[in-house]
Copies of this chain bind each other. A is one copy, B any other.
């Protein structure tokens, strides 16, 4: 079937998106997946530094639920990408770039969590799902979320 590459594939009943549109969407999801881990690390490092004064590799590994070599490997990737630095045996630090990313990610995380809670998702599920969902929320969606929250807060206040 389908000898020629593209000409107007019969769009039927449920109307699939066009190939291009669908490929674009999947591509976005793929790239979000590949940055998700970096974002998790950066966010966690920022949290640890803020709340305990330092971010050590093993603490990070324990909190992520991975082995410490895995954490060290990923931290090496953070360094390669200019998001973090580390003085051996002295802990992990964020670069300026890492810090900027951390702020963005944390704000987004909080917003996603609040929206889930506002929608009536139970606390623990909201916390768990937010951890996965946050990486796939675009700017446009973020904006809609914060407007929705403003609305629902107003409603509650009245």
Contact = CB atoms under 8 A, between A and B. Distances in A.
Copies in the complex: 2
Contacts of A32: 132
Contact of A26 (B59, B63, B119): B63
Interface of A: 1-2, 9-17, 19, 21-30, 32-33, 36, 40, 47-48, 50-52, 54, 56, 58-59, 62-66, 115-116, 119-122, 125-129, 131-133, 135-138, 140-141, 144-145, 147-148
B17 A52 contact: no
Contacts of A64: 22-23, 26
5 tightest A-B contacts by CB?
Answer: A132-B136, A23-B65, A125-B140, A29-B132, A120-B144
A129 B137 contact: yes
Given A52-B10, A119-B144, A144-B121, A65 B27 contact: yes
A52 B19 CA distance: 13
Contacts of A16: 47-48, 51, 63
Given A36-B33, A50-B14, A51-B13, A28 B131 contact: yes
A5 to B, nearest CB: 8
Contacts of A131: 25-26, 28-29, 136
A135 B12 CA distance: 26
Contacts of A135: 132
19 contacts: A10-B51, A12-B52, A14-B50, A15-B51, A19-B63, A21-B127, A22-B63, A24-B128, A25-B127, A25-B131, A26-B64, A26-B65, A27-B65, A30-B65, A32-B132, A116-B141, A116-B144, A125-B144, A132-B135
